[in-house]
Each structure stands twice: as C-alpha cells, then as structure tokens.
Structure 1
Amino acid sequence: MINFLKKATLFATASLLSTLIQAADTFNVAWSHYTGWEPWAYADEKGILKKWADKYDIEIKLTLVNDYIESINLYTGGKFDACTMTNMDALTIPAVGGIDSTAIIIGDYSNGNDGIVLKNGKTVKDLKGREVTLVELSVSHYLLARALDMNGMSERDVKVVNTSDSDIASLFIANENAATVTWNPPLQQVRNSKGANLVYDSSKIPGEILDLMIVKTDADERLKKALTGAWYETMAIMSKRDKVGKEAIQFMASNSGATEAEFNAQLKTTHMFYTAKEASELAASGDVKKTMEHVRQFSFDKGLFGANASSPDFVGIEFANGDVLGNKKNVKLRFTDKYMKMAADNKL
C-alpha cells in the first residue's frame, strides 16, 4: 500500500511538473486584421509559425482578436505575450499601463493605409463643424490631429465620435453625411462607398505610423527569435512574384475579406519592409526617435499618459542605440534592431 502511494505521488508530481514545463514553453500571440498584419495568419495557416516554434522547442498560439484596441488591452492585461500594434498604441496603452514592451519587428509603415474620408466634402477644411467617427486616442486620432494642424484647424473644429473599428465601415456607408478616419481594410470599404471622398491620408506623414510586433521585454528569447524567423520567411514568400507568392497574396486577401485586386491595392499604400536588413536599418536610424518625439507630444497633449503625468517625459522610450526619450528610470517601450539584424545575418 505504501509503495502504491509512493508511486501515485511520484506520478502526480511528474504530471504536474510536465504540465508546468509545457505551460512555460507555450506562448500566446494576438493579432487583428490589417493589411500589414495579414501575413501572420498565412504563417500560422501554412505551418511556418509552427516550424520556427519547433526549432526553438516552444509552442506559439496565434489568436485573431477582431477588435484592435481590445487585443492591446488583453495584451496589457496579461492574456498575451506578444501582440501586433502601432508605435503610438504601444506607448499609450501597455507602456503607460506599466508593461515593459519591446518592438522586435517593424513590419511596415502606413503610406496611405490610414485615411480621412467624408461625404459632401472634398477637403480637410470641409470637416469643420462635423462629427468624425474614429477609434478615439488611436493612430486614427493622431492622423486627424496632424491633418487638422496642417490645414490651420484644430480638434475644436470637429466633434470626435469614438467608434469601434469593426463598426466604422457599416456606419459610414449608412450615413449620408458621414466623415471618418480609419485604416485598411475598412478604409477601402468606405472609400468605395457612394459619395465618398478621401481628403487626407498617411502618405502625407510617411514613417510616422509604424506597424509592429510588440513582445513583453522579459519574454523568453526563444519566442522573440521564432516570431522574427517566421515573419521574414513569410515576407520572402510574399514578396516573390512566383506561383507560391501569388497564392500567399490570395490567401491574405481572402482572409481579410478583400479581393486579390483590393488587397494588392492596399499593399500599394503600405510601405512593407520585406527584408530584415531594411527593417533593422530603420530601427537603428534616428528616424524612429524623431517619430516618437511627435507621438509622445501628441499623447501627452491628449492626456494619454494619465493624470499623474506632468510632462511627456513621464514614460521612457529606449532606442536601438541606447538613447532614451523621457524618464530613464521608467523605460516601458523599447525599439531594438537585435532580432531583425539576426534575421538579416542568417543567425536565427
């Protein structure tokens, strides 16, 4: 009887240990629909993500979260180890929330993939006095502020209506006097609706809206390497004009709810960094620091750093060369070229 109990105890202990080890080697990654992030779905579907996870003896679970802001909130709350998001949202949600995060991949920058569209108007100045639907305090809000400022206006000239990105297109189409700020794929839907005019887009501020893979800074190195490897293998496939490359584009288009022609049109307004070398060079340059200076000033002005922040220096942002904007004792957002450079040098 004693031997039986010993064996049972040993078995239970071994099972618990096995479960804990398995849990420690399993990582959760969130993404949401956007032209520049559709490759993640392809990498998952075609086994590329699993291939790289297996290389590092881990498991990666990729989850689509249809509400973009909710995906970031879930990441900030601890449900995910990594998440796709823009540079501004990485600063104003997880970083301000105290979550130390690192941008390991700069996938692209919006070069017309975010835009302002309205009916019954042809210029930004025609927004005056109107309601504008957008995801409040997101990059859409940032784009609106930049557009208004460049046209001698301010946010006092419009009424911002906070709207989920999943509802923006349908609400715009249904409203005869609509005005909205959004990103692709809903941007393409609203642009193609009757009476719609695109009056401003992110090509006017190139390089300011960066689309990233954000990972908890203290996350396992294997996760960071596996994600980077899977991404650039997918980029290599996607950028080719052969049969496999075309099939990849067709998959991404279908998965996003677009036709192949529509998706290719969206790619034209997305400055994709198809090679790790190009992306790592951007990360190592001073351009990211200049961009984040704009972003942190806007974020502070909008109160996105919270009531306790007395200046834009409240949160520290570290760059690939070690420079820090803001509080060096409260660095919560980091940009690195480490993993992209490893991919470029075939050292993953």
Structure 2
Amino acid sequence: MMRLLGKLGTAVLIAGSLMLAACSQGPDPKTEAKTEFTIGWSIYAGWMPWPYAQQAGIVKKWADKYGITINLVQVNDYVESVNQYTAGKFDGVTVTNMDALTIPAAGGKDTTAIIVGDYSNGNDGILLKGANSLAALKGRQAYLVELSVSHYLLARGLDKAGLKAPDVKTVNTSDADIVAAFGAPDVTAAVAWNPQLSVMKAEKGVNLVFSSADIPGEILDLMVVDTATLKANPNLAKALVGIWYETVALMQRQDAEGKAARAAMAKLSGASPEMFDSQLATTFLYADPKSALAATTSPSLVETMTLVRDFSFSKGLFKGASSADDVGIGFPGGKTLGNPDRVTLRFDDSFMKLAADGKL
C-alpha cells in the first residue's frame, strides 16, 4: 500500500523551483462555480473508504444531494497522483501532510485540507537485526526510501535516541526493493512502511525499535482540494465530508455490513481481509468528525507541522527557499506558521464542524 511522503522526484524539483515566484499569488479569483469534479486517490489502508464509497453508491448519494458530479480516479503511483493534482488535472487528492506541503504548496498551488482522516499509528517503523534499541542504530547503514516518510521517521527516532544524522548512513532503496535488500545478511537496519514492514519484521532476529506509534499524530493522511475551487464551490467539500464520515462509520461497525464493507475495501486494495484489518489496526482513523475537529484545532497540529516543514526545508524540499518560513501554513482560528503573505497550505475545519454538528 503505497504512500510516500515528500519523495523528491523531478516534478517536485520543478514545482519547488517555482515556489518563490508563485507562492504569494493566492487563489485564482477567476475560478468559477462548476458542477463536475475529479478527485485523485491511491491505495493505502486509510484511503480505501473512497473507492468503496464509489462502489457502494455513497459518492453518488452525496453528490446528488448537492447537485454535483464527483469522479474518483485511482492513480497507481502515489507521488504521481499528487503531481497530477499539482498540475491541475484533479480538483482534489488524497495526500499526507508532508507531501501536501512539499509538492503543491511549495510549488505555489494554494491547497486546503478539508478532512484530517487518520494518522499512521505503527504503519511505519525502524527495524534492526541483532539489537532491540534505537541507540544501536549508531554506526549502521539504514536502508530506506530517502526523503520519504521513512526518512522523516528515522530523523525523529535519532532525535529520541540522542543521536545525530551523521551517526547513521542512509542507503536509498525503493519500496519495491527494500524487502529483498533487507534479506541480505550484511543489511542490519531498515526503515519501511506496511505492508513491507510486516514482512520484514517477521524475519528471524529482527526487532522493531521505533515506529510511527511513538510519534502519534505526526504522519497525517488528508483529503485536500484546490483552494480557489473550494472557494467557488463549497458544495464539493460538503459532499466529500459527507461521503467520508458515512463510509468510515460503516466500516467501523462490527456487524455483517461493517465486515462486508471492510472485506470489499481489502479486495479493492489487493489485500486479504486479514491483512487489511492488520493495517487498519496501525492506522488511527478519526472516524468521528468531532475527534477530527479536535485534532485540527489542537495546538499540537501547529507543532507537528513545524517539525514537518523544518525537516522538509533541511532536506532541500523547498527548492529555491531561503528559509522554512517561505511557505506559509494557515490553521483554524487565524494562526499562521511562516510567511502570512505566502500561505499556500491551509487547514480548514469548517466542513468537519458541519459534520460534527449534523448540519451537512
């Protein structure tokens, strides 16, 4: 289940190089109201409610309520889905907090998160052979997808252990190759996400020494939409939020209907029901809009995004920026992180609040 964070591809470099020129432009005032929208998504346990909702008719139900059409489009490569959104092919996309910042927002595309859907609660982890403590990372080579969620998790783990980045040498390894690479006897440290993490962790003598469960709430999964499109078409957000909470409520049920919904999501993701349930177990879903609202308005979100943007800037993911403050991030209540004149990533709690108040 692919979900990279901040992968440094060609499109990211191109987008980032335009950041300083485009960041201050804000939403396009010429964007007009429309009735048909396209949303991109990719396979990940926390995002499987979207294709299931389409299959089950929940998307059509809410779109019809607001007199619009919503087309959900799967993109097999996660980063490509975010790049296509950034290029304007999609009106919205499923994306992580870090990628929303480092790809569209850093590239000057004003983007708004309307749903904070979940956080990784053990789906990402650091593995060691022959040791069971973070301190044992020192002096090792760690195999991972560089400039990804794995790299961010490693940085947070090193900080927790009192180590520095130079204490570990990273070896860039694709997610497709990391299981095989970790199988080599001389490879003793790796950072990965599920399902690869589960496979690697099952090997004899392997210990999970740090995971996203140790930094709860930092690796967030979002639904974002183009800010100008949202401003001209608020019904799109209302429909998307309605779809999300109806579907997540269904998948949380322990009756036959809930089990059937989860099994259908598993099939859509290419996993067995048991594998899908195990991935859900390490995914903290904000199933109740009130809990999502609380997470979005909490001061801890500002703290999390400070960590994420500082890491991103330190790794050169704000191409052309002279400071981490060059990309502004807006939060509910008017709080801004970074340059208030260059806000291109916004967390909007208003639609989740409508859901929490039963006013959709």
TM-score of the superposed pair, with normalisation by structure 2: 0.83
Cα distance, 1:255 vs structure 2: 2.8
Q: Please say which of residues 54-63 and 286-295 is displaced more in the overlay.
A: 54-63
Whether the 8 Å CA contact 2:141–2:187 is kept in 1: the answer is no
Q: Describe the SS at the equivalent of 1:189.
A: helix
Cα distance, 1:323 vs structure 2: 0.7
Match of 1:231 in 2: 244
Q: 2:89 aligns with which of 79, 84, 92?
A: 79
Distance in 2, matches of 1:51 and 1:207, equals 31
Cα distance, 1:42 vs structure 2: 1.3
Q: Please say which of residues 157-166 and 309-318 is displaced more in the overlay.
A: 157-166
Cα distance, 1:300 vs structure 2: 1.8
Cα distance, 1:292 vs structure 2: 1.0
Cα distance, 1:188 vs structure 2: 2.2
1:283 aligns with 2:296: yes
Once the two structures are superposed, what CA deviation does each residue of 1:132-188 show, in whole Å capped at 9, x if it has no partner? 333322222111101012112222233323344344445445676253322223322
Whether the 8 Å CA contact 2:46–2:117 is kept in 1: the answer is yes
Match of 2:268 in 1: 255
Cα distance, 1:131 vs structure 2: 3.6
Q: Describe the SS at the equivalent of 1:214.
A: strand
Q: 2:234 aligns with which of 216, 221, 225?
A: 221
Q: Describe the SS at the equivalent of 1:218.
A: helix
1:200 aligns with 2:204: no
Bigger relative contact order (CA 8 A; separation at least 6): 2
Once the two structures are superposed, what CA deviation does each residue of 1:18-48 show, in whole Å capped at 9, x if it has no partner? xxxxx95332212222221121121122121
Match of 1:88 in 2: 98
Whether the 8 Å CA contact 1:66–1:166 is kept in 2: the answer is no
Q: State percent identity of aligned pairs.
A: 57
Distance in 2, matches of 1:223 and 1:173, equals 47
Cα distance, 1:305 vs structure 2: 1.4
Q: 1:30 to 1:117 in 2, by over 3 A?
A: farther
Once the two structures are superposed, what CA deviation does each residue of 1:90-143 show, in whole Å capped at 9, x if it has no partner? 111111111110110011112212111244443333434444333322222111
Distance in 1, matches of 2:117 and 2:271, equals 20
Distance in 2, matches of 1:346 and 1:243, equals 26
Q: 1:56 to 1:202 in 2, by over 3 A?
A: same
1:99 aligns with 2:109: yes
Distance in 1, matches of 2:128 and 2:270, equals 23
Counting matched residue pairs gives 325
Moved over 4 A (4+): 173-176
Cα distance, 1:87 vs structure 2: 1.0
Alignment of 1:255-274 (within 5 A): 255-274=268-287
Cα distance, 1:230 vs structure 2: 0.6
Once the two structures are superposed, what CA deviation does each residue of 1:316-343 show, in whole Å capped at 9, x if it has no partner? 1000111101101100000111111111
Once the two structures are superposed, what CA deviation does each residue of 1:210-256 show, in whole Å capped at 9, x if it has no partner? 11111111123222121111100101101111111011111222333
Query: Aligned partner of 1:337: which letter?
Result: D
Distance in 2, matches of 1:31 and 1:176, equals 37
Query: Aligned partner of 1:302: which letter?
Result: K
Q: Describe the SS at the equivalent of 2:334.
A: coil
Give ranges in structure 1 of 5+ residues lacking alignment.
Answer: 1-22
Q: 2:222 aligns with which of 208, 212, 227?
A: 212
Q: 2:332 aligns with which of 320, 331, 341?
A: 320
Alignment of 1:136-215 (within 5 A): 136-173=146-183, 177=187, 179-215=189-225
Q: 2:255 aligns with which of 225, 236, 242?
A: 242
Query: Aligned partner of 2:326: which letter?
Result: F
Q: Describe the SS at the equivalent of 1:84.
A: strand
Q: 1:85 to 1:172 in 2, by over 3 A?
A: farther
Once the two structures are superposed, what CA deviation does each residue of 1:39-96 show, in whole Å capped at 9, x if it has no partner? 1121122121122222222222222223222222222122221111111111111111
TM-score of the superposed pair, with normalisation by structure 1: 0.86
Q: 1:54 aligns with which of 56, 64, 82?
A: 64
1:337 aligns with 2:349: yes
Query: Aligned partner of 1:32: which letter?
Result: S
Distance in 2, matches of 1:134 and 1:61, equals 34
Q: Describe the SS at the equivalent of 1:71.
A: helix
Q: Please say which of residues 208-217 and 53-62 is displaced more in the overlay.
A: 53-62
Q: 1:140 to 1:242 in 2, by over 3 A?
A: same
Distance in 2, matches of 1:57 and 1:273, equals 27
Query: Aligned partner of 2:283: which letter?
Result: T
Q: 1:296 aligns with which of 280, 305, 309?
A: 309
